[in-house]
Chain A
Amino acid sequence: MTDNTPQQAAKEREEPVKDLRSFLAEYRAAYPDDVLDVHVPIKAKYECTAIGKHFEDLGKYPLVLFHRVITTNGQISQFPLMVNVLGDRRKLAHAIGSNFEDVTIDWRRRVSEAKCQPVVVNRSDASVKENVRVGDQVNLLDLPAMHTHEMDPGPYITAGMLTTFHPDKWIDNCALQRGFIAGPREIRCLLVPTSHNYLNYAAYGERGKEMKVAYWVGHHPAVIMGAHSGLGYPESHYVTASAVAGQPLRLVPSETLGDDFLVPADAEFVIEGIMVPGKRALEAPFGEYPRYYGPQRMGEVFDVTAITYRNAAIWDSFLVGMNNIYGGAQEEGNIYVAVKRAVPQVQRVYCPVSGSGRFHAYIQIKKTHEGQPREAIMAALSSSANIKHVIVVDEDIDVFDDRWVLWAVATRSQWDRDLVVIPNCQAAFLDPTTGERGLGTKGGIDATKPAPPKRFPLRINVPQDVLERVTLEEYVGPEALAKVPNSRDMKPRR
Protein backbone atom coordinates (compact mmCIF):
# COMPACT_ATOMS: atom_id res chain seq x y z
CA MET A 1 0.00 0.00 0.00
CA THR A 2 1.34 3.44 -0.87
CA ASP A 3 0.67 6.96 0.33
CA ASN A 4 -1.24 9.31 -1.86
CA THR A 5 1.70 11.39 -3.09
CA PRO A 6 1.02 14.42 -5.29
CA GLN A 7 2.46 12.51 -8.26
CA GLN A 8 0.14 9.59 -7.69
CA ALA A 9 -2.80 11.88 -7.16
CA ALA A 10 -2.01 13.56 -10.45
CA LYS A 11 -1.78 10.19 -12.17
CA GLU A 12 -5.09 9.23 -10.67
CA ARG A 13 -6.71 12.35 -12.00
CA GLU A 14 -5.69 11.38 -15.53
CA GLU A 15 -7.74 8.21 -15.28
CA PRO A 16 -11.38 8.32 -14.21
CA VAL A 17 -12.00 6.49 -10.97
CA LYS A 18 -13.69 3.16 -11.47
CA ASP A 19 -16.71 3.03 -9.24
CA LEU A 20 -20.27 1.81 -9.51
CA ARG A 21 -21.41 5.00 -11.22
CA SER A 22 -18.74 4.85 -13.92
CA PHE A 23 -19.73 1.23 -14.58
CA LEU A 24 -23.42 2.07 -14.76
CA ALA A 25 -22.76 4.88 -17.24
CA GLU A 26 -20.57 2.69 -19.44
CA TYR A 27 -22.87 -0.29 -19.29
CA ARG A 28 -25.99 1.76 -19.94
CA ALA A 29 -24.32 3.28 -22.99
CA ALA A 30 -23.26 -0.14 -24.29
CA TYR A 31 -26.47 -2.04 -23.47
CA PRO A 32 -29.22 0.54 -22.95
CA ASP A 33 -32.01 -2.05 -23.08
CA ASP A 34 -30.41 -4.11 -20.33
CA VAL A 35 -30.69 -1.37 -17.70
CA LEU A 36 -34.16 -0.74 -16.32
CA ASP A 37 -35.35 2.07 -14.06
CA VAL A 38 -38.41 1.24 -11.96
CA HIS A 39 -40.07 4.32 -10.48
CA VAL A 40 -43.24 2.63 -9.25
CA PRO A 41 -43.10 2.19 -5.44
CA ILE A 42 -42.20 -1.37 -4.56
CA LYS A 43 -41.63 -3.18 -1.28
CA ALA A 44 -38.20 -4.45 -0.33
CA LYS A 45 -40.06 -7.38 1.22
CA TYR A 46 -40.58 -10.02 -1.49
CA GLU A 47 -41.77 -7.63 -4.23
CA CYS A 48 -38.34 -6.82 -5.68
CA THR A 49 -37.63 -10.56 -5.65
CA ALA A 50 -40.84 -11.16 -7.56
CA ILE A 51 -39.61 -8.87 -10.34
CA GLY A 52 -36.34 -10.77 -10.43
CA LYS A 53 -38.16 -14.10 -10.52
CA HIS A 54 -40.35 -13.02 -13.42
CA PHE A 55 -37.27 -12.01 -15.38
CA GLU A 56 -35.56 -15.27 -14.51
CA ASP A 57 -38.55 -17.16 -15.89
CA LEU A 58 -37.99 -15.26 -19.14
CA GLY A 59 -34.29 -16.13 -19.10
CA LYS A 60 -33.39 -12.46 -18.78
CA TYR A 61 -31.23 -10.76 -16.16
CA PRO A 62 -31.35 -7.00 -16.67
CA LEU A 63 -29.71 -4.63 -14.26
CA VAL A 64 -32.65 -3.08 -12.43
CA LEU A 65 -32.66 0.13 -10.43
CA PHE A 66 -35.65 0.43 -8.10
CA HIS A 67 -35.91 4.12 -7.29
CA ARG A 68 -38.77 4.06 -4.77
CA VAL A 69 -38.30 1.15 -2.42
CA ILE A 70 -40.59 0.74 0.57
CA THR A 71 -38.39 -0.43 3.42
CA THR A 72 -39.05 -2.58 6.47
CA ASN A 73 -40.11 0.51 8.41
CA GLY A 74 -42.78 1.30 5.81
CA GLN A 75 -41.09 4.40 4.41
CA ILE A 76 -39.86 5.01 0.88
CA SER A 77 -36.10 4.86 1.15
CA GLN A 78 -34.05 7.84 0.08
CA PHE A 79 -31.72 5.35 -1.64
CA PRO A 80 -32.33 3.40 -4.85
CA LEU A 81 -31.85 -0.37 -4.86
CA MET A 82 -29.88 -2.05 -7.63
CA VAL A 83 -29.99 -5.74 -8.50
CA ASN A 84 -28.23 -7.91 -11.07
CA VAL A 85 -25.09 -5.81 -11.55
CA LEU A 86 -23.29 -9.16 -11.35
CA GLY A 87 -26.33 -10.99 -12.63
CA ASP A 88 -24.96 -12.46 -15.82
CA ARG A 89 -21.71 -13.33 -17.47
CA ARG A 90 -21.89 -10.54 -20.02
CA LYS A 91 -21.85 -7.93 -17.26
CA LEU A 92 -18.87 -9.58 -15.60
CA ALA A 93 -17.07 -9.58 -18.93
CA HIS A 94 -17.92 -5.93 -19.56
CA ALA A 95 -16.65 -5.02 -16.11
CA ILE A 96 -13.14 -6.32 -16.71
CA GLY A 97 -12.91 -5.81 -20.47
CA SER A 98 -13.15 -9.48 -21.34
CA ASN A 99 -15.65 -11.65 -23.21
CA PHE A 100 -18.32 -14.21 -22.38
CA GLU A 101 -16.08 -17.26 -22.83
CA ASP A 102 -12.85 -16.00 -21.25
CA VAL A 103 -14.04 -13.77 -18.43
CA THR A 104 -13.33 -16.16 -15.58
CA ILE A 105 -9.89 -17.08 -16.86
CA ASP A 106 -9.02 -13.41 -17.39
CA TRP A 107 -10.30 -12.62 -13.89
CA ARG A 108 -8.09 -15.30 -12.37
CA ARG A 109 -5.07 -14.26 -14.47
CA ARG A 110 -5.30 -10.70 -13.21
CA VAL A 111 -5.49 -11.95 -9.64
CA SER A 112 -2.39 -14.09 -10.08
CA GLU A 113 -0.48 -11.17 -11.62
CA ALA A 114 -1.71 -8.71 -8.94
CA LYS A 115 0.75 -5.95 -9.68
CA CYS A 116 -1.41 -2.94 -8.83
CA GLN A 117 -1.31 -1.55 -5.29
CA PRO A 118 -4.09 0.42 -3.56
CA VAL A 119 -3.56 4.04 -2.51
CA VAL A 120 -4.73 5.98 0.54
CA VAL A 121 -6.58 9.25 -0.03
CA ASN A 122 -7.65 12.00 2.30
CA ARG A 123 -11.14 12.03 3.77
CA SER A 124 -11.94 15.15 1.77
CA ASP A 125 -11.23 13.21 -1.46
CA ALA A 126 -13.37 10.22 -0.48
CA SER A 127 -16.86 10.14 -1.97
CA VAL A 128 -18.04 7.69 0.66
CA LYS A 129 -17.49 10.36 3.31
CA GLU A 130 -20.04 12.73 1.79
CA ASN A 131 -22.46 11.63 4.50
CA VAL A 132 -21.35 10.42 7.91
CA ARG A 133 -23.66 9.04 10.60
CA VAL A 134 -22.31 7.70 13.88
CA GLY A 135 -23.80 6.03 16.94
CA ASP A 136 -27.50 6.71 17.43
CA GLN A 137 -27.67 8.53 14.11
CA VAL A 138 -27.46 5.16 12.35
CA ASN A 139 -30.65 3.35 11.37
CA LEU A 140 -30.03 0.44 9.04
CA LEU A 141 -33.77 -0.09 8.68
CA ASP A 142 -33.81 3.01 6.46
CA LEU A 143 -31.82 1.10 3.85
CA PRO A 144 -33.62 -0.54 0.90
CA ALA A 145 -32.14 -3.92 1.85
CA MET A 146 -34.19 -6.76 0.41
CA HIS A 147 -36.23 -9.18 2.46
CA THR A 148 -35.70 -11.65 -0.31
CA HIS A 149 -37.58 -14.88 0.33
CA GLU A 150 -40.57 -15.91 2.38
CA MET A 151 -38.79 -17.74 5.18
CA ASP A 152 -35.97 -15.19 5.57
CA PRO A 153 -36.42 -13.49 8.96
CA GLY A 154 -35.97 -9.98 7.57
CA PRO A 155 -33.83 -7.75 5.37
CA TYR A 156 -30.32 -8.89 4.56
CA ILE A 157 -27.09 -7.39 3.34
CA THR A 158 -26.28 -9.72 0.46
CA ALA A 159 -23.79 -7.79 -1.67
CA GLY A 160 -21.79 -6.45 1.25
CA MET A 161 -18.04 -7.00 1.28
CA LEU A 162 -17.31 -7.88 4.89
CA THR A 163 -13.84 -6.62 5.69
CA THR A 164 -11.59 -7.42 8.64
CA PHE A 165 -7.87 -7.18 9.31
CA HIS A 166 -5.51 -9.88 10.56
CA PRO A 167 -4.78 -9.07 14.23
CA ASP A 168 -0.99 -9.34 13.94
CA LYS A 169 -0.10 -8.68 10.31
CA TRP A 170 -2.88 -6.13 9.75
CA ILE A 171 -3.62 -7.43 6.26
CA ASP A 172 -7.14 -6.85 4.99
CA ASN A 173 -9.53 -9.67 4.19
CA CYS A 174 -12.72 -9.14 2.16
CA ALA A 175 -15.55 -11.55 1.50
CA LEU A 176 -19.16 -11.39 0.39
CA GLN A 177 -20.83 -12.68 3.54
CA ARG A 178 -24.49 -12.28 4.35
CA GLY A 179 -25.77 -10.14 7.20
CA PHE A 180 -29.26 -10.14 8.72
CA ILE A 181 -30.28 -6.59 9.64
CA ALA A 182 -31.80 -7.44 13.02
CA GLY A 183 -32.18 -3.87 14.26
CA PRO A 184 -31.17 -0.27 13.63
CA ARG A 185 -27.59 -0.96 14.62
CA GLU A 186 -27.34 -4.74 14.76
CA ILE A 187 -26.32 -7.12 12.01
CA ARG A 188 -26.05 -10.87 12.47
CA CYS A 189 -23.54 -12.35 10.06
CA LEU A 190 -22.68 -15.74 8.67
CA LEU A 191 -18.95 -16.27 9.00
CA VAL A 192 -18.48 -19.69 7.44
CA PRO A 193 -15.93 -21.54 9.64
CA THR A 194 -13.60 -22.15 6.69
CA SER A 195 -13.62 -18.47 5.69
CA HIS A 196 -10.68 -16.20 6.36
CA ASN A 197 -12.89 -13.68 8.13
CA TYR A 198 -13.79 -16.48 10.53
CA LEU A 199 -10.09 -17.26 11.03
CA ASN A 200 -9.56 -13.61 11.92
CA TYR A 201 -12.59 -13.75 14.25
CA ALA A 202 -11.15 -16.80 15.99
CA ALA A 203 -7.71 -15.18 16.22
CA TYR A 204 -9.18 -12.10 17.90
CA GLY A 205 -11.07 -14.40 20.24
CA GLU A 206 -7.85 -16.18 21.24
CA ARG A 207 -6.36 -12.80 22.08
CA GLY A 208 -9.44 -11.72 24.02
CA LYS A 209 -9.94 -8.75 21.72
CA GLU A 210 -12.93 -7.45 19.82
CA MET A 211 -12.69 -7.45 16.02
CA LYS A 212 -13.16 -4.28 14.01
CA VAL A 213 -15.25 -4.93 10.95
CA ALA A 214 -16.85 -3.10 8.05
CA TYR A 215 -19.23 -3.86 5.24
CA TRP A 216 -18.78 -1.92 2.04
CA VAL A 217 -21.61 -2.02 -0.43
CA GLY A 218 -21.72 -0.86 -4.04
CA HIS A 219 -18.60 -0.46 -6.16
CA HIS A 220 -17.40 -1.10 -9.68
CA PRO A 221 -18.01 -4.81 -10.41
CA ALA A 222 -14.33 -5.26 -11.27
CA VAL A 223 -13.46 -4.07 -7.76
CA ILE A 224 -16.02 -6.45 -6.28
CA MET A 225 -14.67 -9.34 -8.36
CA GLY A 226 -11.09 -8.55 -7.41
CA ALA A 227 -11.83 -8.16 -3.72
CA HIS A 228 -13.85 -11.36 -3.73
CA SER A 229 -11.10 -13.50 -5.24
CA GLY A 230 -10.05 -16.65 -3.42
CA LEU A 231 -6.59 -16.04 -1.90
CA GLY A 232 -4.23 -17.53 0.64
CA TYR A 233 -4.47 -16.47 4.28
CA PRO A 234 -3.70 -13.76 5.06
CA GLU A 235 -3.39 -11.97 1.72
CA SER A 236 -4.72 -8.56 0.78
CA HIS A 237 -7.92 -8.44 -1.20
CA TYR A 238 -7.48 -4.71 -1.71
CA VAL A 239 -4.43 -5.58 -3.82
CA THR A 240 -6.39 -8.01 -5.99
CA ALA A 241 -9.27 -5.54 -6.23
CA SER A 242 -6.78 -3.05 -7.67
CA ALA A 243 -5.33 -5.69 -9.98
CA VAL A 244 -8.65 -6.82 -11.43
CA ALA A 245 -9.94 -3.27 -11.79
CA GLY A 246 -6.68 -2.26 -13.43
CA GLN A 247 -6.18 0.82 -11.28
CA PRO A 248 -5.18 1.45 -7.65
CA LEU A 249 -8.13 1.00 -5.32
CA ARG A 250 -8.62 4.25 -3.43
CA LEU A 251 -8.83 3.67 0.31
CA VAL A 252 -9.62 6.02 3.17
CA PRO A 253 -9.41 5.72 6.96
CA SER A 254 -12.57 4.64 8.76
CA GLU A 255 -14.61 7.00 10.92
CA THR A 256 -14.83 4.96 14.10
CA LEU A 257 -12.35 2.09 13.76
CA GLY A 258 -9.10 4.03 13.62
CA ASP A 259 -6.99 5.49 10.84
CA ASP A 260 -5.34 2.16 10.10
CA PHE A 261 -8.68 0.51 9.32
CA LEU A 262 -8.97 1.41 5.65
CA VAL A 263 -12.15 1.21 3.59
CA PRO A 264 -12.82 1.86 -0.10
CA ALA A 265 -13.14 5.60 -0.69
CA ASP A 266 -15.48 5.23 -3.67
CA ALA A 267 -17.90 2.63 -2.30
CA GLU A 268 -21.53 3.66 -2.17
CA PHE A 269 -21.84 2.73 1.52
CA VAL A 270 -19.52 1.72 4.33
CA ILE A 271 -20.96 0.30 7.55
CA GLU A 272 -18.50 0.17 10.44
CA GLY A 273 -18.66 -1.72 13.70
CA ILE A 274 -17.22 -4.33 15.98
CA MET A 275 -17.67 -8.02 16.61
CA VAL A 276 -17.09 -9.32 20.11
CA PRO A 277 -15.88 -12.90 19.68
CA GLY A 278 -18.42 -15.28 21.14
CA LYS A 279 -21.30 -12.81 20.91
CA ARG A 280 -23.85 -14.56 18.74
CA ALA A 281 -27.58 -14.31 18.11
CA LEU A 282 -30.20 -16.13 16.07
CA GLU A 283 -29.81 -15.73 12.31
CA ALA A 284 -31.58 -17.30 9.31
CA PRO A 285 -33.20 -19.43 7.85
CA PHE A 286 -32.04 -17.73 4.71
CA GLY A 287 -32.76 -18.58 1.09
CA GLU A 288 -29.30 -19.34 -0.24
CA TYR A 289 -27.59 -20.03 -3.56
CA PRO A 290 -28.62 -23.73 -3.82
CA ARG A 291 -32.22 -22.45 -3.87
CA TYR A 292 -32.99 -23.92 -0.45
CA TYR A 293 -33.22 -22.23 2.91
CA GLY A 294 -30.12 -22.70 5.00
CA PRO A 295 -31.10 -23.50 8.61
CA GLN A 296 -31.32 -21.07 11.51
CA ARG A 297 -28.04 -20.76 13.37
CA MET A 298 -26.22 -18.55 15.82
CA GLY A 299 -24.80 -15.66 13.80
CA GLU A 300 -21.83 -13.51 14.74
CA VAL A 301 -23.15 -10.14 15.95
CA PHE A 302 -21.87 -6.99 14.21
CA ASP A 303 -22.57 -3.98 16.45
CA VAL A 304 -22.69 -0.97 14.17
CA THR A 305 -20.79 2.18 15.12
CA ALA A 306 -21.15 4.25 11.94
CA ILE A 307 -22.41 4.39 8.39
CA THR A 308 -20.97 6.59 5.68
CA TYR A 309 -22.36 6.96 2.19
CA ARG A 310 -22.19 8.97 -0.99
CA ASN A 311 -24.73 11.52 -2.05
CA ALA A 312 -27.57 9.68 -3.84
CA ALA A 313 -25.98 6.42 -2.80
CA ILE A 314 -27.09 3.22 -4.56
CA TRP A 315 -27.72 0.11 -2.48
CA ASP A 316 -26.58 -3.10 -4.17
CA SER A 317 -28.23 -6.48 -3.58
CA PHE A 318 -27.92 -9.93 -5.05
CA LEU A 319 -31.02 -11.80 -6.11
CA VAL A 320 -29.74 -14.70 -4.08
CA GLY A 321 -30.48 -18.08 -5.58
CA MET A 322 -31.30 -16.74 -9.03
CA ASN A 323 -29.00 -17.30 -11.98
CA ASN A 324 -26.04 -18.13 -9.74
CA ILE A 325 -23.63 -17.13 -12.42
CA TYR A 326 -21.47 -14.97 -10.18
CA GLY A 327 -20.66 -17.66 -7.63
CA GLY A 328 -20.01 -20.06 -10.45
CA ALA A 329 -17.73 -17.66 -12.25
CA GLN A 330 -15.53 -17.40 -9.21
CA GLU A 331 -15.31 -21.17 -8.92
CA GLU A 332 -14.41 -21.49 -12.59
CA GLY A 333 -11.22 -19.51 -12.22
CA ASN A 334 -10.06 -21.67 -9.32
CA ILE A 335 -10.94 -24.87 -11.18
CA TYR A 336 -9.18 -23.73 -14.33
CA VAL A 337 -5.95 -23.06 -12.45
CA ALA A 338 -6.10 -26.45 -10.67
CA VAL A 339 -6.94 -28.42 -13.81
CA LYS A 340 -4.42 -26.57 -15.95
CA ARG A 341 -1.68 -27.78 -13.60
CA ALA A 342 -2.78 -31.40 -13.99
CA VAL A 343 -4.01 -31.32 -17.58
CA PRO A 344 -2.51 -28.51 -19.67
CA GLN A 345 -4.89 -29.48 -22.46
CA VAL A 346 -7.83 -27.88 -20.60
CA GLN A 347 -9.67 -25.43 -22.82
CA ARG A 348 -12.66 -24.13 -20.91
CA VAL A 349 -14.42 -24.56 -17.58
CA TYR A 350 -18.03 -23.70 -16.79
CA CYS A 351 -20.08 -23.97 -13.61
CA PRO A 352 -23.66 -23.95 -14.87
CA VAL A 353 -26.72 -22.54 -13.18
CA SER A 354 -28.12 -26.10 -13.18
CA GLY A 355 -25.61 -26.82 -10.42
CA SER A 356 -26.45 -23.61 -8.57
CA GLY A 357 -23.23 -22.23 -10.00
CA ARG A 358 -21.09 -24.38 -7.74
CA PHE A 359 -22.01 -28.04 -7.65
CA HIS A 360 -21.50 -28.95 -11.32
CA ALA A 361 -18.36 -28.20 -13.30
CA TYR A 362 -18.07 -28.83 -17.02
CA ILE A 363 -14.51 -29.13 -18.27
CA GLN A 364 -13.56 -29.05 -21.91
CA ILE A 365 -10.22 -30.57 -22.86
CA LYS A 366 -8.30 -31.23 -26.02
CA LYS A 367 -7.73 -34.86 -25.18
CA THR A 368 -4.43 -36.47 -26.13
CA HIS A 369 -4.21 -39.26 -23.52
CA GLU A 370 -6.78 -41.62 -22.02
CA GLY A 371 -5.84 -40.64 -18.45
CA GLN A 372 -6.49 -36.92 -18.83
CA PRO A 373 -10.23 -36.86 -18.08
CA ARG A 374 -9.72 -38.57 -14.71
CA GLU A 375 -6.83 -36.28 -13.86
CA ALA A 376 -9.06 -33.33 -14.69
CA ILE A 377 -11.90 -34.72 -12.58
CA MET A 378 -9.69 -35.18 -9.53
CA ALA A 379 -8.06 -31.77 -9.88
CA ALA A 380 -11.42 -30.04 -10.24
CA LEU A 381 -13.03 -31.89 -7.34
CA SER A 382 -10.21 -30.98 -4.99
CA SER A 383 -10.11 -27.33 -6.06
CA SER A 384 -13.13 -26.44 -3.93
CA ALA A 385 -15.41 -28.08 -1.39
CA ASN A 386 -18.33 -26.81 -3.42
CA ILE A 387 -17.57 -28.78 -6.58
CA LYS A 388 -19.56 -31.99 -6.46
CA HIS A 389 -19.96 -33.29 -10.01
CA VAL A 390 -17.49 -32.89 -12.85
CA ILE A 391 -18.18 -33.74 -16.46
CA VAL A 392 -15.25 -33.75 -18.84
CA VAL A 393 -15.99 -33.26 -22.53
CA ASP A 394 -14.12 -32.84 -25.78
CA GLU A 395 -13.34 -29.57 -27.49
CA ASP A 396 -16.29 -29.88 -29.90
CA ILE A 397 -18.76 -29.67 -26.99
CA ASP A 398 -20.10 -26.26 -25.98
CA VAL A 399 -19.60 -26.29 -22.21
CA PHE A 400 -21.81 -23.23 -21.83
CA ASP A 401 -24.85 -25.22 -22.95
CA ASP A 402 -26.17 -28.01 -20.68
CA ARG A 403 -27.83 -29.68 -23.66
CA TRP A 404 -24.58 -30.50 -25.40
CA VAL A 405 -22.77 -31.53 -22.23
CA LEU A 406 -25.57 -33.98 -21.43
CA TRP A 407 -25.52 -35.12 -25.05
CA ALA A 408 -21.85 -35.96 -24.61
CA VAL A 409 -22.70 -37.91 -21.45
CA ALA A 410 -25.39 -39.74 -23.37
CA THR A 411 -23.24 -40.67 -26.32
CA ARG A 412 -19.65 -40.79 -25.08
CA SER A 413 -19.76 -42.45 -21.66
CA GLN A 414 -20.47 -45.82 -20.10
CA TRP A 415 -21.18 -46.00 -16.36
CA ASP A 416 -18.95 -49.01 -15.68
CA ARG A 417 -15.98 -47.46 -17.44
CA ASP A 418 -16.24 -43.70 -17.19
CA LEU A 419 -17.55 -42.94 -13.71
CA VAL A 420 -15.40 -41.69 -10.82
CA VAL A 421 -16.97 -41.78 -7.31
CA ILE A 422 -15.19 -40.49 -4.18
CA PRO A 423 -17.16 -40.81 -0.92
CA ASN A 424 -16.61 -38.94 2.36
CA CYS A 425 -15.26 -35.72 0.92
CA GLN A 426 -15.51 -32.24 2.42
CA ALA A 427 -18.65 -30.86 0.83
CA ALA A 428 -20.63 -27.66 0.57
CA PHE A 429 -22.49 -27.09 3.82
CA LEU A 430 -25.46 -25.59 2.01
CA ASP A 431 -25.88 -28.67 -0.19
CA PRO A 432 -28.96 -30.18 1.48
CA THR A 433 -27.79 -33.72 0.80
CA THR A 434 -24.63 -33.46 2.87
CA GLY A 435 -24.71 -34.60 6.45
CA GLU A 436 -24.25 -32.60 9.63
CA ARG A 437 -20.50 -33.15 9.54
CA GLY A 438 -20.31 -31.69 6.05
CA LEU A 439 -19.36 -34.92 4.33
CA GLY A 440 -20.47 -35.68 0.84
CA THR A 441 -19.75 -37.86 -2.14
CA LYS A 442 -18.11 -36.31 -5.15
CA GLY A 443 -17.76 -37.72 -8.60
CA GLY A 444 -17.11 -37.23 -12.23
CA ILE A 445 -17.99 -38.52 -15.65
CA ASP A 446 -15.54 -38.93 -18.49
CA ALA A 447 -17.74 -38.00 -21.45
CA THR A 448 -14.92 -37.78 -23.94
CA LYS A 449 -14.23 -39.74 -27.06
CA PRO A 450 -11.22 -42.10 -27.14
CA ALA A 451 -7.91 -40.28 -27.50
CA PRO A 452 -6.26 -40.26 -30.93
CA PRO A 453 -5.27 -42.26 -32.88
CA LYS A 454 -8.41 -44.26 -31.97
CA ARG A 455 -11.38 -43.42 -34.17
CA PHE A 456 -14.96 -42.65 -33.09
CA PRO A 457 -18.20 -42.20 -35.08
CA LEU A 458 -18.54 -38.76 -36.61
CA ARG A 459 -21.14 -36.19 -35.55
CA ILE A 460 -23.76 -35.33 -38.08
CA ASN A 461 -23.12 -32.02 -39.74
CA VAL A 462 -24.05 -29.61 -42.51
CA PRO A 463 -21.12 -28.27 -44.52
CA GLN A 464 -19.99 -24.98 -42.99
CA ASP A 465 -20.04 -23.09 -46.30
CA VAL A 466 -23.69 -24.09 -46.80
CA LEU A 467 -24.63 -22.96 -43.29
CA GLU A 468 -23.11 -19.59 -43.98
CA ARG A 469 -24.71 -19.23 -47.41
CA VAL A 470 -28.25 -20.41 -46.61
CA THR A 471 -29.68 -18.02 -44.02
CA LEU A 472 -33.07 -17.78 -42.35
CA GLU A 473 -33.30 -14.08 -43.10
CA GLU A 474 -33.08 -14.74 -46.80
CA TYR A 475 -35.23 -17.85 -47.11
CA VAL A 476 -37.87 -17.22 -44.43
CA GLY A 477 -37.80 -13.46 -44.22
CA PRO A 478 -37.18 -11.28 -41.17
CA GLU A 479 -40.87 -10.63 -40.38
CA ALA A 480 -41.91 -14.27 -40.39
CA LEU A 481 -38.73 -15.16 -38.56
CA ALA A 482 -39.48 -12.72 -35.75
CA LYS A 483 -42.95 -14.27 -35.28
CA VAL A 484 -41.86 -17.90 -35.00
CA PRO A 485 -42.64 -18.83 -31.37
CA ASN A 486 -40.44 -20.77 -29.03
CA SER A 487 -41.93 -24.26 -29.04
CA ARG A 488 -42.37 -24.19 -25.25
CA ASP A 489 -44.44 -21.00 -25.44
CA MET A 490 -46.64 -22.06 -28.38
CA LYS A 491 -50.38 -21.75 -27.93
CA PRO A 492 -53.00 -22.75 -30.54
CA ARG A 493 -54.95 -19.86 -32.04
CA ARG A 494 -58.25 -21.53 -31.06
Chain B
Amino acid sequence: METVREIWFKCAKCERESYCEASFEKRPDAEVMCPFCRTTQKLKDVRIT
Protein backbone atom coordinates (compact mmCIF):
# COMPACT_ATOMS: atom_id res chain seq x y z
CA MET B 1 0.00 0.00 0.00
CA GLU B 2 1.49 3.30 -1.07
CA THR B 3 1.39 6.26 1.29
CA VAL B 4 0.66 9.90 0.59
CA ARG B 5 2.91 11.61 -1.98
CA GLU B 6 2.36 15.24 -1.10
CA ILE B 7 1.43 17.24 1.96
CA TRP B 8 -0.72 20.24 1.23
CA PHE B 9 -0.43 23.47 3.14
CA LYS B 10 -2.07 26.88 3.13
CA CYS B 11 0.08 29.97 3.62
CA ALA B 12 -0.87 31.91 6.77
CA LYS B 13 0.07 35.17 5.06
CA CYS B 14 -1.33 35.05 1.51
CA GLU B 15 -3.70 32.11 2.07
CA ARG B 16 -2.74 30.34 -1.12
CA GLU B 17 -2.32 26.58 -1.18
CA SER B 18 0.67 24.54 -2.22
CA TYR B 19 2.35 21.25 -1.38
CA CYS B 20 5.60 19.67 -0.29
CA GLU B 21 7.06 16.19 -0.37
CA ALA B 22 5.66 13.61 2.03
CA SER B 23 9.16 13.21 3.50
CA PHE B 24 8.63 16.53 5.34
CA GLU B 25 6.34 14.62 7.66
CA LYS B 26 9.34 12.80 9.13
CA ARG B 27 10.76 16.05 10.51
CA PRO B 28 8.55 17.43 13.32
CA ASP B 29 9.86 20.99 12.94
CA ALA B 30 9.90 21.01 9.16
CA GLU B 31 9.41 24.38 7.55
CA VAL B 32 7.85 25.11 4.20
CA MET B 33 8.07 28.14 1.95
CA CYS B 34 4.99 29.60 0.30
CA PRO B 35 5.97 29.70 -3.38
CA PHE B 36 3.78 32.73 -3.97
CA CYS B 37 4.90 35.12 -1.21
CA ARG B 38 8.07 33.29 -0.14
CA THR B 39 7.00 33.28 3.52
CA THR B 40 8.62 30.47 5.50
CA GLN B 41 6.49 28.83 8.16
CA LYS B 42 6.21 25.65 10.20
CA LEU B 43 4.49 22.92 8.27
CA LYS B 44 2.57 21.82 11.36
CA ASP B 45 1.05 25.32 11.60
CA VAL B 46 -0.17 25.54 8.02
CA ARG B 47 -0.78 21.94 7.03
CA ILE B 48 -4.15 21.20 5.46
CA THR B 49 -5.50 18.12 7.17
Footprint of B on A, CB under 8 Å? 151-154, 282, 284-285, 293, 295-297, 432, 434-437, 439
Q: Is the CB of B18 within 8 A of A285?
A: yes
Q: What are 25 A-B residue pairs whose CB atoms fall within 8 Å in the complex?
A: A151-B18, A151-B35, A151-B36, A152-B35, A153-B33, A153-B35, A282-B31, A282-B33, A284-B35, A285-B19, A285-B35, A295-B7, A296-B18, A296-B24, A296-B33, A296-B35, A432-B5, A434-B2, A434-B5, A435-B5, A436-B2, A436-B3, A436-B5, A437-B2, A439-B2
CB contact list, B1-41 vs A, under 8 A:
2-7, 18-24, 31-33, 35-36, 38, 40
In the complex formed, the residue of B with least CB distance to A294 is: B21
Interface residues of B toward A: which range?
20 to 34
What would 17 more interface pairs be, CB under 8 Å, given A295-B20, A437-B3?
A153-B33, A282-B31, A284-B35, A285-B18, A293-B19, A295-B5, A295-B7, A295-B21, A296-B18, A296-B21, A296-B32, A432-B5, A434-B2, A435-B2, A435-B3, A435-B5, A439-B2
Top-9 shortest CB links A-B: A435-B2, A296-B20, A153-B35, A282-B33, A295-B21, A297-B21, A295-B6, A436-B22, A436-B3
Docked pose: A284 CA to B6 CA in angstroms: 13
Q: Nearest Cβ distance between residue A295 and chain B, in whole angstroms?
A: 5
Contacts of B21 in A (CB 8 A): 295-297
Count of chain A to chain B residue pairs whose CB atoms are closer than 8 Å in the complex: 50
Contacts of A437 in B (CB 8 A): 2-3
In the complex formed, the residue of A with least CB distance to B27 is: A298
Docked pose: A295 CA to B9 CA in angstroms: 11
Docked pose: A153 CA to B31 CA in angstroms: 15
Q: Pick the contact of B19 from A154, A282, A296, A434 — CB < 8 Å? A: A296
In the complex formed, the residue of A with least CB distance to B9 is: A296
Contacts of A284 in B (CB 8 A): 35
Q: Is the CB of B2 within 8 A of A153?
A: no
Docked pose: A437 CA to B3 CA in angstroms: 8
In the complex formed, the residue of A with least CB distance to B8 is: A295
Contacts of B40 in A (CB 8 A): 282
Given A296-B21, A436-B22, A282-B2 contact (CB < 8 Å): no
Q: Nearest Cβ distance between residue B32 and chain A, in whole angstroms?
A: 6
Q: Nearest Cβ distance between residue B42 and chain A, in whole angstroms?
A: 13
Q: Nearest Cβ distance between residue B8 and chain A, in whole angstroms?
A: 9
Contacts of B4 in A (CB 8 A): 436
Q: Is the CB of A153 within 8 A of B38?
A: yes
Docked pose: A432 CA to B5 CA in angstroms: 8
Docked pose: A264 CA to B22 CA in angstroms: 38
Contacts of B24 in A (CB 8 A): 296
Contacts of A152 in B (CB 8 A): 35
